[in-house]
Amino acid sequence: MSLLSFERSTSARILRDFRCGVKEMDDFIHFRLDNYLSQHENQLFIVYDEDNTIVGMFVLSEGYFFDENESFTDAPAYGKPFSILDKLSGGLKSIKRYSTVEIEYLAISESFRNKHIGSVIIRQISKLAQSQHTPFITVDAYVTLQYFAVPFYEKCGFTHLETQDRSYDTMRMILNIRN
């Protein structure tokens, strides 16, 4: 894929003709995204190709994850370690909370799929996270009959934080951008 440009937008109206081909996502983008943006502190980015055609979009927020196993001990945790399980388990288990850039939504135009636009977007998100001194990117990757995003995120270097969340049809994943 040749040059892409990224523009922050405060309104999803610019996406009125955008279609990713996943009905639930297209419906969300066209009928609920503007309301979602007005109720949350998120950032909408529009992705254009060199012809100024919209080829993708993504929404980011500030996020975090809890590391019960302290497998990220060399990363800067924020807040003091605390123990949720002390009273329940009788142990002194410390759980650290780490700051992340959270991918809330990411969609590629149906007519521009399989052109590596998604991986270019992930690299752009990584640059943004690095500029904010945030060592991780997290996402709840969709796991539905119509759309299975996990392999895409795995190809981009994400690993699983947990198994599929049956109540939300997602799988929590993380990318350590310090490596």
- Which string of DSSP letters, residue by residue, matches 7-39? EEES-GGGGTT---S-HHHHHHHHHTHHHHHHH
Listed residue (143, 174, 178) closest to 64, CA to CA: 174
How many Cα atoms sit within 13 Å of 60 on the Cβ side? 23
What is the reported pLDDT for 117? 96
**By residue range, what is the domain housing residue 55?**
5-176
Predicted model pTM: 0.83
Q: pLDDT at position 71, please? A: 57
- pLDDT (0 to 100) of residue 162: 73
> What is the CATH classification number for the domain harbouring 127?
3.40.630.30
β-partners of residue 137 are 101, 175
pLDDT at site 63: 87
**pLDDT given at position 143:** 83
CA angle (131 as vertex; 128, 132 as ends), nearest 5:
90
The pLDDT score that the predictor gives to residue 50 is: 94
Q: How many domains does the chain fold into?
A: 1
- pLDDT given for residue 163 in this prediction: 65
Q: What is the pLDDT of residue 148?
A: 83
The parts of the chain modelled with pLDDT lower than 70 are 1-2, 67-95, 163-167, 179
pLDDT one-digit tens code per residue, 143-166: 877 778 999 999 999 998 876 556
Measured in degrees and rounded to the nearest 5, phi and psi for residue 170 equal -135, 165
Q: For residues 46 and 58, is the Cβ–Cβ distance under 8 A? A: no
